[in-house]
Structure 1
Amino acid sequence: MTNPLLAQWDTPFELPPFAAIGDEDFAPAFDAGLTEARTAIAAIAGNADAPTFANTIEALELAEATLDRVAGVFYNLAGADSTDAREALMRDLAPKMSAFSSEVTNNKALFARIETLWQDRETLDLSPEQARVLELYRQMFVRSGAQLEGEAAARLTEVKARLAVLGTEFSQNILAEERGWFMDLAEDELEGLPQFLIDAARAAGAEKGRAGPVITTSRSLIVPFLQFSPRRALREKAYEAWVARGANGNAQDNRTIAAEILKLRAERAALLGYPSFAAFKLEPEMAKTPDAVRDLLMRVWTPARAKAEADASVLEAMLRADGIAGPLEPWDWRYYSEKRRKAEHDLDEAALKPYLSLDAMIAAQFDCANRLFGLEFRPLDVPLYHPDARAWEVTRKGQHVAVFIGDYFARGSKRSGAWCSAMRSQKKLGRDVRPVVVNICNFAKAEPCLLSYDDARTLFHEFGHALHQMLSDVTYGFISGTSVARDFVELPSQLYEHWLEVPEVLETHARHWQTGEAMPSDMLKRLLDAGTYDQGFATVEFVASALVDLAFHEGAAPADPMQKQAEVLEGIGMPRAIRMRHATPHFAHVFSGDGYSSGYYSYMWSEVMDADAFAAFEETGNPFDPATAARLEQFILSAGGSRPAEELYLEFRGRMPGVEALLKGRGLLDAA
């Protein structure tokens, strides 16, 4: 029988035939894809003709077509709906795919062809996009060790293979920890919990096979539990389990893995001639250097810490008023902060959430995309990989743009967090390929699914990434969509969050899930007025994580990452009642792969731009200004990596922003 992953996909929009694909199909499909790719690359490297852009770079773009197609399906499923078989294959593939990547970049004949093109680039009559693609291909090869020889080249290959194995192991350990821990709640322990949380806890209990409600380490369950449960001992138990993921002294303990990863990264950088892994990693980013990153983070840290310390004093007074001697602990912060928010802003999340149903917020994000970019969304009735996933066809003026898949509910087979990925990316080389884009979230599954305002912001954030993929308009897949500098990739996503704050968006879409009534105007005003509430806390927990990430990758690798983490936090004066947003043993951004290593700061670097970018709309007096939206699409969303990030932003805005817009947006300007 033909492997469905290798057959032609005669399906609507050439979607993967999920119903026909079994876990047993992936390994042979990867083998076939690797064989095909190796044959194609050998032919490119061994081509007797002089190198041209077409017979070298464009040929490389097409060489891994089957491998890309198989990987696009597998890695999406492995993150969103893991099985034992998929996890085992992930472990098998990690060194195999790393070895293949090194095999390509270590191919001297292939690199010689790329280098010849690079040296002759001024005479090749390349388009600006082609020139950029050539530059990035050469950069990738050089940074992957193409210029190394002998033992150094061989050692770098070993290091990268081991890092791939360790990153996979780190990620799977977190998933196992999250899948394995839950806390049963007796009926009397539901005291003080709003109905939406009780419903979600019962649904989680049913998924775990328990008779009653449970709290898991899913953020959409544990955060509201910490906000509303008056039982301090239960809050402490849940909180400590949440922050201890990956550090429980069991088979899933990630601390020694983190240490080895940091050691190997430092060695990798040294082999390539860099003083540190941070210097290596930041070179192609907008920030360029560790000093530039630290300067930004510390300019934000100082006012954020001052604000958080002032807030902590208020919350500790509330704690003492409850007859608790103190001090304020991390598992107390959200509980008393929620009480304070209700008192100062008359905002009760339990009263707010009925107006923020998942379906209503999906409609809101689609409506904004329609008003800004003319996109329309039609539900699709097609087989997908899980019953919770749903799909839409995206069109503009009747023309197909993309398929968008949303998979929104937490489950044991899905890794935590929220992300955007593409099962298929946009490109024009060979033929016009339209993308299949996926948004993954981990909202607590309940009927109806009611979101917190923070959940709704997450939804908009990931959809901003999706727009970056869907509106991509480039020839070469290498620079498609979100294939941009890491500290630029968060600009579209964080910028899109701003439209959730536009009053007319909430006036239209924030409607009670039962009655259909709009959110009361006074509630809407209080919600928007409280937009910067508790930003001292949120900024401190983020910046602390970013500073620890940066410190890990500067200079010699720490023998004990946990000790290094403690030293960094002590050095910056971390408030006692706040902890890092992601402690080292479950810091997946940094240790599940190289994506955000030395790069967790990227969210804040992009935030400096997103605050300024939305101001471009505000300055017109219209948050949906057509001319500004057209520039945003032309220079940011459709451009991918076709030009350096600084150039694209300058084309859109005319200048680079300062940190003041970020501080103002977080309500920290007065504390600066």
Structure 2
Amino acid sequence: MSNPLLEDWDTPFQIAPFERIGDAHFAPAFETALEAARDEVRAIAENPENPSFANTIEALEASGEGLDKVLSVFFSVAGADSNPERQELQRDFGPKLAAYSSEVTGNKQLFARVTALWEDRDSLGLSDEQARLLMLTHRRFVRAGAALDGEEDQRMRRIMARLAELGTQFTQNLLADEAGWYMELDDQALETLPEFLKTAAYDAGREKGLERPVITLSRSLIVPFLQFSPRRDLRERAFRAWEARGANGGKTDNRAIAAEILRLRHERAQLLGYDSFAAYKLETEMAKTPERVKELLGEVWKPAKRQAEADAEVLTEMMQADGINGELQPWDWRYYAEKRRKAEHDLDEAALKPYLSLERMINAAFGVANRLFGLEFRALDIPLYHPDCRAWEVTRNGRYVAVFIGDYFARASKRSGAWCSAMRGQAKRPKVQGPVVVNVCNFAKGEPALLSYDEARTLFHEFGHALHHLLSDVNYESISGTSVARDFVELPSQLYEHWLEVPEVLEKYARHYRTGEAMPPELLEKMLKAAHFDQGFQTVEYVASAMVDLAFHEGDTPDDPMAKQRKILDKIGIPHAITMRHATPHFAHVFAGDGYSSGYYSYMWSEVMDADAFAAFEEGAGAFDEERAKALETHILSRGGSADPEALYTAFRGRLPGVEALLKGRGLMA
């Protein structure tokens, strides 16, 4: 059978021919490509020539191209447009990929070649980027257990295979819980909601084959429902379902999976000689140690908790004025916070949405990138993996740079959240290739789609990640784009959010979707003043999650993660009406894979830098300071992981930042 995944792609920009790819193609293509990758690695390891940077490190960099091609397509569709067949393939591919990775790093001949080059590195005449790639390659082998022998080596391989299985199962359980729950709204419940939410609820109902409006567990639906519905009983029902994702019992329950993941990570770290998984994981990050992370989180926790407790008193008074006695509950906070925001800032979020249409916010993100970096975007008409997807050719000074794909709407087949990925990374060696970058979001569909201010920030955030890929200018794909330390990767994305708050950006792009009129100046002023409203709540729910993540991985592994979660939250004194942003059974950042394990703090670590980095623009000629924009691209966005992140940031700013700018930006300074 002809398999398009194994062919050369004679398509515009060598984009995958999605219209020809079916689920039946993935397994045979995967097996063929995996075997070819094994052969390529074996040839490198068994090369009779003495090891050189070219025949070992660069050869490894070039190996597995066919496998990467297959997997870039598969994982893109599996995450954003899942179905039972793709879920089964994920469960099958995960352990096989883990085994392959262990084969590569566990190949003693190959490790000997890498080690020989590492020990002889000073005499190889390498460029700075090549020296960095050699260091990262050697470190990757060592941290994967390449130096282990005998039973320890075999045990590490079994651990990695099992972790791959568990991460896949965690993700699929969460998707099943999110897709399986919805709450129908009767006429009485519906009429109290703003028009944009009514429209989104009807669209969600039609997607499920219903004629009634529904609330699902998509953040773009449930958060505004919790904000705007006066029906406390329905808010409680929706919130409890949202909070219970992954903890409903039965085959989709993630609690036992989380416990096993924590045990295996701890054992993995000890096999490699570390006291804890947190110590192992943070060694290669900017933070370096759990102690530095705890110091940062502690500096932010105290003022955030103090602000949240003061806010809780105000919201409780508002609730009791409505005739509701007792404590403020988690399903009450957003509703009364929204009423308070409207009262104190005279701001109604429903009044904002007509000025924040998805189309105009996409154009805003593109327009800022054009002013800062000279990038231009031309819409493409090419087949993609779902009808909702859109694509643009990215150019600069008339020269091709990349392809950017946007997949913006929520659907039952898409996992929750928002993310950026690269179907193809930027590289110059062994061949020149431009990136293919994908932003995935979960906005409610509508005609047109209207965003909240937070959703517009999400769009800018993910596009900031995309810029890290689009502007990458290194030789080797494995260190291009976002291939950086986890607590550095969020700097470009969080920094880009600041441009959504620039008045001239909003004046140009925040226009009514029907009339084209600019947002009234008084509404614009109110929105900017309220942009950081409720930061006590937002900071507490985030920092609590980061503290739990770190505690899970720092000490003894818990038999009951939920009990340890409760113990940690009690110890730090989280306010009663605030929960973790991501409770353990649906904490996909931490349990769907190793990416953010012991690393959820990294958003805040990066925020310290992004607040300081934007201040550099403000200290100069303003948000569109050409010199600062050039420095940002030169020292950070174009460099990927080709240098140490502290060195990159210092080259941009002249120094490392302190936490003061973050606290000031969040309005948490004492």
The TM-score with structure 2 as length reference comes to 1.00
Show the 5 A alignment for 1:472-491: 472-491=472-491
Q: Which residue of 1 aligns with 2:631?
A: 631
Show the 5 A alignment for 1:300-315: 300-315=300-315
Does the alignment pair 1:444 with 2:419?
no
Q: Which residue of 2 aligns with 1:403?
A: 403
Q: Which residue of 2 aligns with 1:128?
A: 128
Q: 3-state DSSP class of the match of 1:669?
A: coil
Distance 2:491 2:669 in 1: 21
Q: Which residue of 1 aligns with 2:460?
A: 460
For 2:537, give the aligned amino acid.
Answer: F
Identity %: 69
Structure 1 residue 621 displacement after superposition? 3.0
Q: Is the 8 A contact 1:319 1:326 kept in 2?
A: no
Deviations 1:202-227 (A, max 9, x none): 00000011121000000000000000
Deviations 1:80-104 (A, max 9, x none): 0011111000000111000000000
Structure 1 residue 430 displacement after superposition? 2.1
Q: How many residues align?
A: 670
Q: Which residue of 2 aligns with 1:428?
A: 428
Deviations 1:287-342 (A, max 9, x none): 00001001100100000000000000000000000000021000000000000000
Does the alignment pair 1:244 with 2:244?
yes
For 1:569, give the aligned amino acid.
Answer: L
Q: Which residue of 2 aligns with 1:289?
A: 289
Distance 1:109 1:251 in 2: 43
Distance 1:188 1:312 in 2: 29
Deviations 1:231-272 (A, max 9, x none): 000000000000100001121000000000000000000000
Distance 1:652 1:114 in 2: 32
Q: Which residue of 2 aligns with 1:217?
A: 217
Q: Which residue of 2 aligns with 1:326?
A: 326
Does the alignment pair 1:355 with 2:355?
yes
Runs of 4+ with >3 A deviation: none
Structure 1 residue 390 displacement after superposition? 0.3
Distance 1:482 1:32 in 2: 28
For 1:437, give the aligned amino acid.
Answer: V
Does the alignment pair 1:373 with 2:366?
no
Q: Which residue of 2 aligns with 1:35?
A: 35
Q: Is the 8 A contact 1:358 1:451 kept in 2?
A: yes
Q: Which residue of 2 aligns with 1:649?
A: 649
For 1:220, give the aligned amino acid.
Answer: S
Distance 2:185 2:26 in 1: 40
Q: 3-state DSSP class of the match of 1:296?
A: helix
Q: Which residue of 2 aligns with 1:256?
A: 256
For 1:390, give the aligned amino acid.
Answer: R
For 1:186, give the aligned amino acid.
Answer: D
Q: Is the 8 A contact 1:173 1:252 kept in 2?
A: yes
Q: 3-state DSSP class of the match of 2:533?
A: coil
Structure 1 residue 11 displacement after superposition? 0.4
Deviations 1:404-457 (A, max 9, x none): 000000001100000000000011112210000000000011111000000000
* Consecutive unaligned residues in structure 1, runs of 5 or more: none
Does the alignment pair 1:116 with 2:116?
yes
For 1:524, give the aligned amino acid.
Answer: L
Q: 3-state DSSP class of the match of 1:408?
A: strand
For 1:404, give the aligned amino acid.
Answer: F
Deviations 1:440-477 (A, max 9, x none): 00001111100000000000000000000111111111
Distance 2:532 2:37 in 1: 51
Distance 1:296 1:402 in 2: 37
Distance 1:301 1:260 in 2: 29
Q: Is the 8 A contact 1:375 1:396 kept in 2?
A: yes
Does the alignment pair 1:546 with 2:549?
no
Q: 3-state DSSP class of the match of 1:421?
A: strand
For 2:615, give the aligned amino acid.
Answer: A
Does the alignment pair 1:269 with 2:269?
yes
User: Alignment RMSD, CA only?
Assistant: 0.6
Q: Is the 8 A contact 1:368 1:499 kept in 2?
A: yes
For 1:654, give the aligned amino acid.
Answer: G
Distance 1:588 1:55 in 2: 39
Q: Which residue of 1 aligns with 2:496?
A: 496
Distance 2:640 2:544 in 1: 30
Q: Which residue of 1 aligns with 2:94?
A: 94
Q: Which residue of 1 aligns with 2:69?
A: 69
For 2:125, give the aligned amino acid.
Answer: D
For 2:297, give the aligned amino acid.
Answer: L
Distance 1:222 1:136 in 2: 42
Q: Which residue of 2 aligns with 1:187?
A: 187
Does the alignment pair 1:164 with 2:164?
yes
Q: Which residue of 2 aligns with 1:603?
A: 603
For 1:281, give the aligned amino acid.
Answer: K
Distance 1:620 1:330 in 2: 43
Q: 3-state DSSP class of the match of 1:103?
A: helix
Deviations 1:104-154 (A, max 9, x none): 000000000000000000000000000000000000000000000100000
Q: Is the 8 A contact 1:191 1:229 kept in 2?
A: no
Q: Is the 8 A contact 1:543 1:601 kept in 2?
A: yes
Q: Which residue of 2 aligns with 1:659?
A: 659
For 1:503, give the aligned amino acid.
Answer: P
Q: Is the 8 A contact 1:206 1:212 kept in 2?
A: yes
Q: 3-state DSSP class of the match of 1:384?
A: coil
Does the alignment pair 1:533 with 2:533?
yes
Structure 1 residue 587 displacement after superposition? 0.2
For 1:470, give the aligned amino acid.
Answer: L
Structure 1 residue 556 displacement after superposition? 1.2
The TM-score with structure 1 as length reference comes to 0.99
Deviates more, 1:233-242 or 1:186-195: 186-195
For 1:664, give the aligned amino acid.
Answer: K
For 1:329, give the aligned amino acid.
Answer: Q
Structure 1 residue 2 displacement after superposition? 2.2
For 1:377, give the aligned amino acid.
Answer: F
Structure 1 residue 191 displacement after superposition? 3.1
Q: Which residue of 1 aligns with 2:613?
A: 613
Q: Which residue of 1 aligns with 2:196?
A: 196
Structure 1 residue 35 displacement after superposition? 1.1
Deviations 1:632-659 (A, max 9, x none): 0011100000001000000000000100
Q: Is the 8 A contact 1:222 1:238 kept in 2?
A: yes
Distance 2:526 2:404 in 1: 33
Distance 2:191 2:64 in 1: 56
Q: Is the 8 A contact 1:609 1:657 kept in 2?
A: yes
* Consecutive unaligned residues in structure 2, runs of 5 or more: none
Deviations 1:137-176 (A, max 9, x none): 0000000000001000000000010000000000000000
